[in-house]
Chains A and B, each alone.
Chain A
Amino acid sequence: MTVPSAAPALLVEGLEKSFGSLAVLRGIDLEVGEHEVVCLIGASGSGKSTLLRCINLLEPIDAGRIVIEGDEITAIDVDVDRIRRRIGIVFQAFNLFPHMSVLDNVTLAPRKVLRTPRAEAEEAALRLLERFGLVDKRADHPDRLSGGQQQRVAIIRALAMQPDLLLLDEVTSALDPELVAEVLGVIRELAAGGMTMLIATHEMGFAREIADRVCFLDAGLILEQGPPDTLFRDPFEPRTRQFLERIIDAGRL
């Protein structure tokens, strides 16, 4: 039931999510067009991660709907596994499979979910590893890799499923500062290649550089959104201004 071309890559309408009595998302409306890169910024606890986890159906939602290329994925009777194949997510803590080599981490889902023959899956994985400079790590287990290398493998693992949409959840927050650049480099390359991405990040400079649009989340709402130059230079909302001032004071922008 795919609506041709006109449908956005991702459409979120009136999304609400509570954990017990704590309302984390209080009516999120968001649209991401094909090949668009949208960054979510906001303080810790503003709902960025929860929003990404809801879009990947890792958290059940309370109200609203999420539509991927015209398919409502929050409908009652959807095949959750089939939808997750189309959406890649990369976590803050990498979450690589520690008992598998890098190559097996990348090929597990193509082999088991898409039933790609091993040789073919490995060939595709090696191309990806080559492209991001990790081909010599293919036989290593994750604990042999630096944090930056692990996170790049996690991104490649998500890419191996050829997702229509890639969600990145503060992927550099757990990294030592000197390792951040290599991961941002990968994301930059993906953006240049036209990957549709929704990125939750604390790296304001990077958001400003890479995003087509920046959304400021505050207390479970998208308070303000716009092109990065506008939002960072001349924010409309006082809350946004306050947040950005604190970031500038901390020397992070």
Chain B
Amino acid sequence: MTTIDARRRHERRRALRASALALGSTIVVFGGLILLVVNSPGWAEVQRSFLDDRVFADALPSVVRSFAVNIQLFVAAEVLVLVFGLFIAVLRSLPGPVFFPVRIMATVYADIFRAIPGVLVIFLLGFGIPGLGLVDPKTPSIIYGVAALTLVYSAYVSEVYRAGIDSVHPSQDAAARSLGLSRWQSLRHVVIPQAIRRVIPPLLNDFIGLQKDTVLVSFIGVVEIFRQAQIKQAAAFNFTPYMAVALVFVVLTIPLARLTDVLIARDRRRAAGGKA
């Protein structure tokens, strides 16, 4: 007869064995990979070009400083995307034949700006709009960068919002309408607030993409982190500054990715019926 104590001891032993196995296999796999790279014929050369600590120490401060430009770019674009993306999603959700042209326009917009590579939109705006001669030619390029990122990511985010709006059960709208709220009031006070709560995790995911794409704005002459690293790379004949850029993005993105995971897990718990 197994006592409860014996059963617990057995469970504990099994858990311990599992952890040991996970640790062991991790060391073997990663250790093997590192050994493979370090013993490759060109390793010494690659190490010198990409992992030079003197170049790294020299580049890091200016690279981090120029990241302020990327922060401006993505903060401005994110705020605009939140508003404009929702606007597009609402246009696409408007019912009735009167709004048919509006729905078409919003759909075409979302299709086109998801289709064109972001870097092209940045080019077209950054070089095309000034060419029209309609805006002040001294308008800084960063403005076109923000506009292009907003256009591209609003198209994605409008789809995220729309999925959220569609996921709110029709009985919620029925309840609101039965109380005399108009279609718009129901959307505004009942459907959209619930939709936004649900789409926060996928929204953060799109923002991770947007933040990385701020480096594309370097192509229209904005000196941001990537261009700054390029300048350093050209001066030192060494690729290490790019590693500094990579590090900065990793440090920025990992907390955001973990936050997204936490929010998704929380949503899943709620959906499973647990009380908030």
Chain B residue at smallest Cβ distance from A87: B178
Q: A141: CB under 8 A from chain B?
A: yes
Main secondary structure of the interface of B (DSSP, over half): helix
CB distance from A238 to the nearest CB of B (A): 36
Q: A44: CB under 8 A from chain B?
A: no
A108 adjacent to B174 (CB under 8 Å): no
A143 adjacent to B177 (CB under 8 Å): no
Q: A26: CB under 8 A from chain B?
A: no
B174 adjacent to A113 (CB under 8 Å): no
Q: A58-B174, A95-B174 are in contact. Are A81 and B276 (CB under 8 A)?
A: no
Query: Complex: how many Å from CA A113 to CA B276?
Result: 30
Which listed residue (A95, A113, A141, A144) contacts B175, Cβ 8 A? A95
Q: A174: CB under 8 A from chain B?
A: no
Q: B180: CB under 8 A from chain A?
A: yes
Please, which residues of chain B bring their CB within 8 A of the CB of A97? 172, 175-176, 190, 194
Please, which residues of chain B bring their CB within 8 A of the CB of A88? 178-179
Q: B3: CB under 8 A from chain A?
A: no
B180 adjacent to A95 (CB under 8 Å): no
Q: B197: CB under 8 A from chain A?
A: yes
A93 adjacent to B171 (CB under 8 Å): yes
Q: B182: CB under 8 A from chain A?
A: yes
CB distance from A44 to the nearest CB of B (A): 18
CB distance from A138 to the nearest CB of B (A): 18
Q: A56: CB under 8 A from chain B?
A: yes
Interface size of B in residues (CB-CB distance below 8 Å): 19
In the complex, per-residue mask of B146-176: 1 if CB is within 8 Å of any chain A CB, else 0: 0000000000000000000000000110111
In the complex, per-residue mask of B233-269: 1 if CB is within 8 Å of any chain A CB, else 0: 0000000000000000000000000000000000000
Chain A residue at smallest Cβ distance from B179: A109
Contact count A vs B, C-beta below 8 Å: 62
Which listed residue (A82, A98, A161) contacts B179, Cβ 8 A? A161
Chain A residue at smallest Cβ distance from B174: A58
A99 adjacent to B197 (CB under 8 Å): yes
Q: B193: CB under 8 A from chain A?
A: yes
Please, which residues of chain B bring their CB within 8 A of the CB of A113? 179-181, 185
In the complex, per-residue mask of A79-120: 1 if CB is within 8 Å of any chain B CB, else 0: 001101101110101011111000000001100110000000
CB distance from B252 to the nearest CB of A (A): 31
Query: Complex: how many Å from CA A89 to CA B175?
Result: 8
Q: A37: CB under 8 A from chain B?
A: no
Q: B65: CB under 8 A from chain A?
A: no
Which listed residue (B171, B179, B197, B276) contacts A108, Cβ 8 A? B179
Please indicate which of the listed interface residues B174, B175, B193, B276 has the most CB atoms of chain A within 10 Å of its own CB: B175
Query: Complex: how many Å from CA A93 to CA B171?
Result: 9
In the assembled complex, 25 residue pairs joining A and B whose CB atoms fall closer than 8 Å, in A order, are: A58-B174, A58-B178, A81-B181, A82-B180, A84-B177, A84-B179, A84-B180, A85-B179, A85-B180, A88-B179, A89-B178, A91-B175, A95-B172, A97-B176, A99-B194, A99-B197, A108-B179, A108-B190, A109-B176, A112-B181, A112-B189, A113-B180, A143-B275, A158-B178, A161-B179
Q: Known A-B contacts: A112-B189, A113-B180. Give 11 more (CB < 8 A).
A: A58-B177, A81-B177, A81-B182, A84-B178, A85-B179, A91-B174, A99-B193, A99-B194, A108-B179, A108-B190, A112-B185
